[in-house]
Structure 1
Amino acid sequence: MTKTEILEQENRLYEAIKNSDLKELDVLLHEDLLFIAPGGEILTKEKDLETYRSGHLKINRLDPEIKELQTMDDLAIVVLLVDLKGTYQAEPFEARYQYIRFWKRFQEGIKVVGGSGVAI
């Protein structure tokens, strides 16, 4: 797995998030995804997809800055800062978050398997 491959996946993920693209998110997120949201909630793939499906989360701006990217065989770890602006449950928000995301290569492609985010 190369850093270039991971950067391509990250860019696909940013676009899918901005566009609430459920089909693309379904491809990029592993079935057994576990993610700790900035509020502390543990999200599974289905919970994450439901957030977009329901329209509760709408992202108007997503500006990522990758701080660290390491690859180890079939696993990659990305640490990034993200400036987000949008609405959550019809309430506007604008904040900066730091995320760690884990990508793993599977037979069907490279997928997000876990991560965590915190507001900073």
Structure 2
Amino acid sequence: MDATHKAQVIDNEKKLLLAMKTNNVELLDQLLHDELLFNGPSGETATKAMDLENYRSGNINLHTLESSDLMLNMVGDDVVVAVTVEILGNYLGQEIDGKFRYLRVWKLFENNWKVIAGSVVTLSTDN
């Protein structure tokens, strides 16, 4: 994998987690592709517009986001990231406290990496 691309995607992963934690809709808008599809832990599929509205409205309020076990693979021009994230907060009215495994696909558009697809599964919960 190109070391520059790897560093850029790792940096964007950090920015994405920070944007999620701080409800930074503007930064999320920059990092997520307009045609994003994301599958949640119960099988629901969300679009970028749905995700941004949930952050904008306060339906998502995350206090802790700690990542570990990051893996990256370059596939053609895309980068696939798998990462474990420990989350504490509130998601659509439900308290969450657990570990989740995210899979995200990043694609480069005019020098800007954007998430084009993703999913998350629950590894463990404390609630």
Matched residue type, 2:21:
K
2:18 aligned residue (15, 19, 22): 15
Matched residue type, 1:87:
N
Give the 5 Å matches for 1:25-40: 25-40=28-43
Q: How far did 1:108 drift?
A: 5.4
Q: Partners in 2 of 1:48 and 1:66 — Cα distance?
A: 25
1:93 aligned residue (84, 93, 96): 96
Q: Are residues 1:111 and 2:114 paired?
A: yes
Cross-structure match for 1:46: 49
Q: How far did 1:107 drift?
A: 1.4
Residue pair 1:66, 1:78 contacting (<8 A) in 2 also: no
Tell me how large the CA RMSD over aligned residues is. 1.3
Give the 5 Å matches for 1:48-67: 48-67=51-70
Q: Partners in 2 of 1:90 and 1:81 — Cα distance?
A: 23
Matched residue type, 1:93:
I
Shifted more, 106-115 versus 23-32: the winner is 106-115
Matched residue type, 1:4:
A
5+ residue gaps, structure 1 = none
Matched residue type, 1:76:
V
5+ residue gaps, structure 2 = none
Structure 1 ranges of 4+ moved more than 4 A: none
Q: How far did 1:88 drift?
A: 2.2
Instruction: Give the share of equivalent positions with the same residue, in percent.
Output: 35
CA-to-aligned-CA distance 1:75-120 (integer Å, 9 cap, x gap): 1000011100001234322011011100000115110000110001
Q: Partners in 2 of 1:10 and 1:67 — Cα distance?
A: 10
Give the alignment's TM-score, normalised by structure 2. Answer: 0.88
Cross-structure match for 2:74: 71
Q: Partners in 2 of 1:13 and 1:60 — Cα distance?
A: 14
Q: How far did 1:68 drift?
A: 1.4
Q: Partners in 2 of 1:106 and 1:66 — Cα distance?
A: 26
